[in-house]
Homo-oligomer: A and B are copies of this chain.
Amino acid sequence: MATIKDIADVAGVSLATVSRVINNGPKVGDATRERVKKVMEELGYRPNANARALVTRKSASLGVVIAELLDPFFATLAHGIDAVARRQNVQILMSAGSIEKQTELKAIDTLLQHRCEAMVVHSKALDDKTLVEFAAQVPGFVLINRYIEDIGHRCVWLDNVAGGQTMARHMLSQGHKKFVVVSSKYQIDDPIQRLSGIRKELALSDIELPESHIEFSTPDQEGGEIAMRNLLARGIEFTAVLAYNDAMASGAMTLLQDHDVNVPTDVSIIGYDDVLLAKYCRPKLTTLHYPVEMMATKAADLALAYARGDVPDPSVTYKYTPTLVKRDSVMNRHAGQST
């Protein structure tokens, strides 16, 4: 592959001049510039990103650590990041961390070896301290979907407590009184926070949520089925199910339907995330919209900005709030209509 030297030789100029042309440097004569460009074209020259990164100490790349590419939630996340990467002309270095300490650690480590100064990481397995240390090393280190106070201005996160409250409040407003929760068995912050929001809101109406009314499983459709099966088996009475996410909601719904329980007339369900699935399952899922893509975009922009040395207003934080999307899986028990 042609190097800058080859171009210089053929064009009859020095390395420096070629470099200037490549980088649209200022002090080059028009004639020379054209000639060099022509030679580059002819030789199919492509600047060596590695050499460049080495000397400039800038990698023109954005590191991304997410849990799992298959999950539509993360796919959306990745998609949002990709959009800004493309816009800002940086290459994405992608690693899946699978919510495992060692894997997440290794993913970040590899990114560090590549010396990428901007990275948006979704980490649930690593502890605060570790993450804060990384943040200290990498100027453009941004956390998504997690809040750590010490680096609060580098966190783009969702208010899960508020989310839990909104779910409960909506069901309450529709006249529901008997609740059941289908949650994620992974002991990360999210399910805990959502649950606490739910409890907080229910408490305002003097409703308790006993442990037996909560079932924990994997946060996917199968997990939703299993959780619902267990709830049914336990003979608990309920008219409202609050799911950890849309996938679990859909699974739970499927199982209910298989048992001839009608949704929403017999039982109402509300999901969380508002991924595509929510719109296409039957009945369509009432859920909380998680503005992942917007958040991903913000996170990527932020990471790149910090890496560039820009200092965004340090007083602002990037907290997002999920919003209710009413579709067809929740019935109004006052009016007897689905809302």
A12 adjacent to chain B (CB < 8 Å): no
User: Most chain-B Cβ atoms within 10 A of its Cβ — which of A47, A51, A113?
Assistant: A113
Q: Does A233 contact B (CB under 8 A)?
A: no
Nearest 3 A/B pairs, CB to CB: A50-B53, A94-B94, A49-B113
Secondary structure dominating the interface of A: helix
Chain B residues with CB below 8 A from A109, complex form: 46
Taking beta carbons and an 8 Å cutoff, which residues of A are in contact with B?
A: 1, 46-51, 53-54, 59, 61, 64, 68-72, 75-76, 78-79, 82, 86, 91-96, 103, 109-115, 137, 221, 250-251, 254, 257, 276-277, 280-282
Q: List chain B residues, Cβ under 8 A from A48.
A: 54, 113, 115
Q: Is the CB of B54 within 8 A of A113?
A: no
Q: How far is the CB of A210 from chain B (nearest CB, A)?
A: 30
* Pair A95/B96 contact, Cβ less than 8 Å: no
Q: Oligomeric state, in number of copies? A: 2
12 contacts between A and B (CB under 8 A): A1-B115, A1-B137, A47-B113, A50-B54, A64-B94, A69-B75, A69-B79, A82-B94, A92-B93, A93-B94, A251-B280, A281-B282
Contacts of A277 in B (CB 8 A): 277, 280
Cβ distance A208 to chain B, nearest Cβ, rounded Å: 33
Name, among A50, A72, A110, A251, the residue most crowded by chain B CB atoms within 10 Å (CB to CB).
A50
